[in-house]
């Protein structure tokens, strides 16, 4: 019986767990599941495991789920001969290619996460800029109103100043006339 490491990668080989005309059962009397090993040391080897034994896809480690009482009967049975020669080379090449692609996918996912984060930051900054732009537009409109009011007030003050100047000239002339009149009377 071959041992399987806890970091082995495997996948269900097919939905029918039948060898010839018989169904392979584990020690629990449950249909055993047929898996294919995708490890570098044993590529393409198919084997049966206990029906309660499962693999965690998230952690890529083997978990023994166990039966209702939490027991794994540790059933293991190879199915078919191991791969040798050209077949093993092809499986190994395929595994290397898959591992290389997985690494590239990981790098691309990391890059995508970084780009997504930067995009989010840029969008947040754009939203803040839009908010500031709206506030500035309101401030500009208010300042424009104040400018118009000040221009009107300046025009009013200029008019008033002209009127005061005219009045001052008239008062000055009146004073001069009065002084001249008083001087004329004395003479």
Residue 67 half-sphere exposure, CB side, CA atoms within 13 Å? Answer: 15
Question: Looking at the predicted structure, is the pLDDT value of residue 106 above 50?
Answer: yes
Cα-based angle 77, 82, 86 (whole degrees, multiple of 5)? 160
Mean pLDDT of the chain: 80
pTM of the model: 0.46
Q: Tell me the pLDDT tens digit for each residue of 129-186.
A: 999 999 999 999 999 999 999 999 999 999 999 999 888 888 889 999 888 888 888 7
Which stretch of 32-41, 90-99, 157-166 has the lowest confidence by average pLDDT? 32-41
- Which pLDDT score, from 0 to 100, does residue 143 have? 96
CA gyration radius, the chain: 48
């Amino acid at each position: 019986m071959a041992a399987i490491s806890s970091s082995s990668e495997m996948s269900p080989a097919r939905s029918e767990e039948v060898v010839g005309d018989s169904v392979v059962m584990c020690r629990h009397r449950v249909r055993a599941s047929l898996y294919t090993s995708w490890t570098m040391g044993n590529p393409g080897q198919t084997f049966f495991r206990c029906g309660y034994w499962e693999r965690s896809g998230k952690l890529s480690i083997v978990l023994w789920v166990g039966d209702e009482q939490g027991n794994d009967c540790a059933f293991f049975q190879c199915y078919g001969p191991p791969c040798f020669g050209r077949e093993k080379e092809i499986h190994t090449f395929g595994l290397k290619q898959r591992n290389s692609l997985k690494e590239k996918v990981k790098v691309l996912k990391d890059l995508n996460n970084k780009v997504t984060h930067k995009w989010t930051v840029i969008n947040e900054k754009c939203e803040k800029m839009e908010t500031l732009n709206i506030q500035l537009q309101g401030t500009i409109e208010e300042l424009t109103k104040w400018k118009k009011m000040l221009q009107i007030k300046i025009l009013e003050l200029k008019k008033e100043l002209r009127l005061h100047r005219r009045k001052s000239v008239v008062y000055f002339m009146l004073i001069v006339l009065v002084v001249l009149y008083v001087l004329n009377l004395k003479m």
